[in-house]
Amino acid sequence: CDVVVLISGSGSNLQALIDSITGDDHPARIRAVVSNRADAFGLERARKAGIDTRVLDHKAYADREAFDAALIEVIDAYKPQLVVLAGFMRILTPGFVRHYQGRLLNIHPSLLPKYKGLHTHQRALEAGDSEHGCSVHFVTEELDGGPLVVQALIPVESDDTPESLAQRVHVQEHRIYPLAMRWFAEGRLRLGQYGAELDGQAL
Ligand code: GRF
């Protein structure tokens, strides 16, 4: 299964995905990492792993449509079966999302459907939640609203801060994203008519 990963920043999730592909029997291969920022540290991680990197600066395009069209062209040159958003901080157009329908995954640092968008750790603290976590989901046109694939939960402690939560959530992200990528690459995970399915069972 050929995979293209989109990033904007540190790329710790990208690293977890890279590190999870050990041995010849893993069905996923990351063919390219694409960033909208030239200074994204994740690009270093990709280069170190011998993976092709491409930078597409969104500011060089007139609008979202033009940027996304260019992005599709770059991605599709690698003919991926799966596109993985790993901290890609641009909102994608409906046209882009439709183009990769059923083969576009995202990870979000909250227990969706709670806290779509930004500042999720802060919002979980302010709400007094006793549990927090992260979610992998198929991407649809609704921002952070696509069918769930897998979630990980952490307990919220009384002395937690947004930073301490972010740190513990990240550990879980690095566990569940490789899992979801592997399921997809093995052909076990798909987007069905009514949502995500694993081994033919609704998730
Ligand atoms: C993660 O918290 C992810 O959930 C969110 O963006 C962050 C990316 O972190 N979508 P990293 O670049 O993978 O370290």
User: Cis before residue 27, ω within 30 degrees of 0?
Assistant: no
Among 100, 116, 150, the domain-final residue is 100
Helix (H) or strand (E) holding 168: helix 162-185
Verify that 2 and 74 share a domain, yes or no.
yes
Does 143 score more than 90 pLDDT? no
Verify that 36 and 90 share a domain, yes or no.
yes
Ligand 1: residues whose CB is within 6 Å?
9-13, 86-87, 107-109, 134, 173
Q: Would strands 82-85 and 29-35 be described as parallel, antiparallel, or unpaired? A: unpaired
Centre of ligand 1 from the C-alpha of residue 186, in Å: 24
Among 73, 100, 127, the domain-final residue is 100
Is position 31 annotated in a ligand binding site? no
Among 82, 100, 118, the domain-final residue is 100
Write the residue with the smallest CA distance to atom 5 of ligand 1.
87
Question: Domains in the chain: how many in total?
Answer: 2
Distance of alpha carbon 79 from the chain centroid: 18
The whole domain housing 56 covers 1-100
Write the residue with the smallest CA distance to atom 1 of ligand 1.
87
Verify that 83 and 160 share a domain, yes or no.
no
Q: Which amino acid would we find at residue 36?
A: N
ipTM of the complex: 0.95
Instruction: Decide: helix, strand or coil at residue 55.
Output: strand
Average per-residue pLDDT in the chain? 97
Q: Summarize pLDDT for 81-125 with one digit per residue, the tens.
A: 999 999 999 989 999 999 999 999 999 999 999 999 999 999 999
pTM (predicted TM-score): 0.96
CATH number of the domain within which 76 lies: 3.40.50.170
Does 24 score more than 90 pLDDT? no
Does 23 score more than 90 pLDDT? no
